[in-house]
Structure 1
């Protein structure tokens, strides 16, 4: 397949593999859950490995922003999804995105409080 055929292929929001379709109903909350998971990991690193070079504060703010984005996007998708769990609208992914986003935000706030305490002490 040439590059031209790849460029005019069906949109990436419709991927089919063995009968499983990943449409925009599942793609958005899955991406939000990945962002929420990234915020948990980055916040955990900022909390457990404080940096003396200033990178710890950047990691903390990055985790805070990513957590808020994951929680807000997941919440908006959960509020606007039609149907319940198992209907293919991505409600489960949205709930997971909200949970991971809130956990990542809480960890980032703890890391931010720790960095402020350490800087003033």
Structure 2
């Protein structure tokens, strides 16, 4: 029993000492709060979300679920907004260097690109459906 306890203590020491030493050697400051990078990324993500919502509404309208019309105008608006979001979020990723948690807003920019892509896909589906119907 004592041998198992001693071997467990030695194993923990071998695992924990390098981990603690490497953690002390890193010089990464975690930033809390709203920084300019996070604000820019948040605005991009909100505009991307609006683009995805407009694309979804136009797709539902083209399917005849509510409203009248083909939803073509909404799809064009969603596609343009999505393209703008993707460009701005790409510029954000290029300009703001730093890892995740440093306040540069890289995670928000990646979310914004994903929202823009979703908006673009929904707009494309709507435009394809409206072409088929005409």
TM-score normalised by structure 2 residue count: 0.69
* Residue of structure 2 in register with 1:65 after alignment: 80
Which one has the largest radius of gyration?
2
Equivalenced residue count is 100
* Residue of structure 2 in register with 1:76 after alignment: 91
Q: CA RMSD in A?
A: 1.7
* Residue of structure 1 in register with 2:57 after alignment: 45
Quote the Cα distance in structure 2 between the aligned partners of 1:108 and 1:53: 15
* Residue of structure 1 in register with 2:111 after alignment: 96
Quote the Cα distance in structure 2 between the aligned partners of 1:27 and 1:34: 11
Structure 1 moving runs of 4+ over 3 Å: 51-54
| Structure 2 unaligned spans of 5+ | 1-31
Which structure's residues are more often helix, by fraction? 2
- Which of residues 74, 90, 100 is equivalent to 1:85? 100
Deviations 1:55-78 (A, max 9, x none): x21111110011111111111101
Q: CA deviation at 1:52?
A: 4.0
